[in-house]
Structure 1
């Protein structure tokens, strides 16, 4: 936890005491709820802050300066990375998509407990989410890169920024895209030397062709 808090505090004044307190409250709620439903694997509990909180928070640094508009997080699960980024980016509207009722209900509870007025939880499959022009789309352990682009094509525009933590498969997935992957690149994760995050826009890529 100390390493994660040091990372969050590396730029004095960037994150307020209220935001840090919300992260603590969220993690406390998550650990309590984890006894009722399997939000995170038990093996990752001792590494909660690095494995989940910091792993999510690092995406904020990958958003280009001046980006505005809605951030949609696909298959948010226990709130990673969507809920963490929503806490750290109070000026952006967030929509967290989660199809499992029990998890969606808990996410709403955590959202309300932390006073996240910038956040909405959408219970249902991604296909049931109304068309919109998302400024940012994130997804952690959601689907392959082509499938993610195809499934989310109705909420994206060529200007949408995609932030997709992929673990060890990032470079391989991007290579498999061939020329259509040219608008993306891999950023190294600060929590795992072997993990990568696919970042980019779908400018000039026909997402419909990926269906």
Structure 2
């Protein structure tokens, strides 16, 4: 390991993750593919090596602060983009069965190449809208953990993600800045979709010291049949308390 990899290994060790040499190699291959593909398509605005390790790889693994992945078998990542947080989690916890949903076919092609190059098994990258994929019985109310990172406001994310989360499972929204307003606005949608916010973990990146928040929402029951609504509707008309607009 070089200095960047060693520093990364020390950061994630504090999250309870001990990286093997093979896992370190997988992260490095992932980094190289990310930079290579980013020249052809817009995957990330961050391409320097240490910032990628900190702001993408480490940031993704902070979910281990909220979930015991040794007791978790399945995860769905909604609107995954370049594979965050699900692929770093898969590298760190190889037993996970991972499903990635993204609406852009080009990103799915990138993810498929990363999955193949890293030799990851039990990872499926699906091209589709979350609202449509969640209607499939294979995915509905199915996953132990569902994640979304910087995709939309929480009132919208609840409708994207809670339908994938099994009863007794957890949806974790990865957010940057303060989330108090989003939490207030999202209470109604969480309730309708059988979710209940449990806590918000506040974290800081090790070098940059910028704030991150993990919003942890427990799934309390099966998703009502009316949800998610048809593709595009959650973004245009988020579920909000009708009484609040009167």
TM-score, length-normalised on structure 2?
0.75
Moved more, 121-130 or 10-19: 10-19
Q: Give distance in 2, aligned partners of 1:159 and 1:110.
A: 31
The answer on 1:98 being equivalent to 2:109 is: no
Change (3 A) 1:118 1:153: same
Structure 1 runs of 4+ off > 6 angstroms?
204-207
Shift of residue 37, structure 1, vs aligned partner: 0.8
1:202 maps to 219
Change (3 A) 1:12 1:139: closer
Shift of residue 182, structure 1, vs aligned partner: 5.4
Contact 2:29/2:118 (<8 A) preserved = yes
Cα deviation, 1:73-92, whole Å, max 9, x if unaligned, reads 01110111111111111111
- Residue segments in structure 1 that go unaligned for 5+ positions in a row: none
* Aligned-residue CA RMSD (Å): 2.6
Q: 1:82 aligns with which of 66, 81, 86?
A: 86
TM-score, length-normalised on structure 1?
0.86
Q: Give distance in 2, aligned partners of 1:13 and 1:64.
A: 11
Is the radius of gyration larger for structure 1 or structure 2? 2
Shift of residue 16, structure 1, vs aligned partner: 1.7
**Structure whose residues are more often strand by fraction:** 2
Give the secondary-structure state (helix, strand or coil) at the position aligned to 1:159.
Answer: strand
1:128 maps to 132
- Residue segments in structure 2 that go unaligned for 5+ positions in a row: 229-237, 240-246
Q: Give distance in 2, aligned partners of 1:186 and 1:149.
A: 15
The answer on 1:183 being equivalent to 2:216 is: no
Q: Give distance in 1, aligned partners of 2:69 and 2:14.
A: 18
Q: 1:141 aligns with which of 150, 164, 176?
A: 150
Contact 2:200/2:213 (<8 A) preserved = yes
Change (3 A) 1:152 1:200: closer
Q: Give distance in 2, aligned partners of 1:204 and 1:12.
A: 30
Contact 1:141/1:166 (<8 A) preserved = yes
Cα deviation, 1:19-56, whole Å, max 9, x if unaligned, reads 11101110111111111111101xx2231111111111
Moved more, 120-129 or 85-94: 120-129
2:177 maps to 168
Q: Give distance in 2, aligned partners of 1:204 and 1:118.
A: 26
1:45 maps to 47
Change (3 A) 1:93 1:147: same
Change (3 A) 1:35 1:13: closer
Contact 1:170/1:197 (<8 A) preserved = no
Give the secondary-structure state (helix, strand or coil) at the position aligned to 1:158.
Answer: strand
Instruction: Give the paired residue count.
Output: 209
Summarize the alignment of residues 103-122 of structure 1 with structure 2, pairs less than 5 Å apart.
103-122=107-126
